[in-house]
Amino acid sequence: MIKLRNKIAPSLLSSDFANIESEVKKCENAGCDLLHIDIMDGHFVPNITIGPLVVSAIRPHTKLQLDCHLMISDPDKYVPEFVKAGADMISIHVEATHHLHRSIQLIKSFGVKAGIALNPITPLEYAINAAEYCDFIMLMAVNPGFGGQNFITSFLNRAKTLRNYLDNNGLDNVEIEVDGGVKLDNVLEIANAGANILVSGSGLFSGNFEDNVRNMKEILK
């Protein structure tokens, strides 16, 4: 069984959008592993953020992989735009598409990493059934739409169950991503539950960013 490497993924949602270039460089210089970008449409979630134009504006300023989290209805329609904008990883919500297998195949057809995201109480069966087609599975630990919400602790059992399933079924290379409420004081418990891609927005961007990243790396060692 392979042990997947822990990856720190700052969520740009909590960064300073007026200085996005320097925020992106800050993430790279601090030694983060990828950039998590939250795409919200005001329909699937009650908030609107950014679209492919901003992703393509970020692309030339970093070598880090861009992890685009699509919190949008009818994601298939926009996947090609995000690929063109420079996404390396794209996740879609299982609640937002009627034909999950088709949506995953669509993402893969462009040669980018395909992920699915599940809201906190969406049955884990979706992930279990889709796992063999996915590069990563994101379990939300908050209701999607906003940064700075409290971690929903039922995530921990869900991650353990999913990690066990993956490891016992020849899918140990499928990564588990956690999104929402990840902070210095709970990140170890979250990683021990089986998540290895650790998204954190307010947890990293509040206070001193570099110190927070350094401390998170230290905790995860």
The residues carrying an active-site annotation are 38, 179
Q: For ligand DX5, which is the closer residue by CB, 51 or 145?
A: 145
Binders in 96-115 for Zn ion, by CB under 5 A: none
Q: For ligand DX5, which is the closer residue by CB, 106 or 155?
A: 155
Decide: is 180 part of the binding site for ligand DX5 (CB under 6 A): yes
Decide: is 41 part of the binding site for Zn ion (CB under 5 A): no
Q: Spell out the alpha helix ranges (H) of 86-124.
A: 100-109
Which of 51, 80, 120, 148 binds ligand DX5 (CB under 6 A)? It is 148
Radius of gyration, CA atoms only, the chain? 16
Locate tokens 């709970």: which residue?
186
46/17 Cα distance (integer angstroms): 19
Which of 149, 167, 215, 219 binds ligand DX5 (CB under 6 A)? It is 149
b/e burial code for range 76-102 (CB count within 10 A of at least 16 → b): bebbeebbebbbbbbbbbbebbeebee
Distances (CA, A) of 93 to 22, 146, 182: 30, 15, 19
Q: Smallest distance from the beta carbon of 172 to Zn ion, in angstroms? A: 24
72/11 Cα distance (integer angstroms): 17
Decide: is 69 part of the binding site for Zn ion (CB under 5 A): yes
Question: Which letter does DSSP use for residue 48 in this model?
Answer: B
Mark 80-119 with x for binding to ligand DX5 (rule: CB under 6 A) and - for no binding.
----------------------------------------
Which of 80, 145, 160, 219 binds ligand DX5 (CB under 6 A)? It is 145
Q: Find out whether 122 and 94 touch, Cβ atoms under 8 Å.
A: yes
Amino acid identity of residue 116, one-letter, is I
Q: Smallest distance from the beta carbon of 185 to ligand DX5, in angstroms? A: 13
Q: Smallest distance from the beta carbon of 168 to Zn ion, in angstroms? A: 28
Q: For ligand DX5, which is the closer residue by CB, 101 or 188?
A: 188
151/135 Cα distance (integer angstroms): 24
By CB under 6 A, name the binding residues for ligand DX5.
11, 13-14, 36, 38, 69, 142, 144-149, 179-182, 199-203
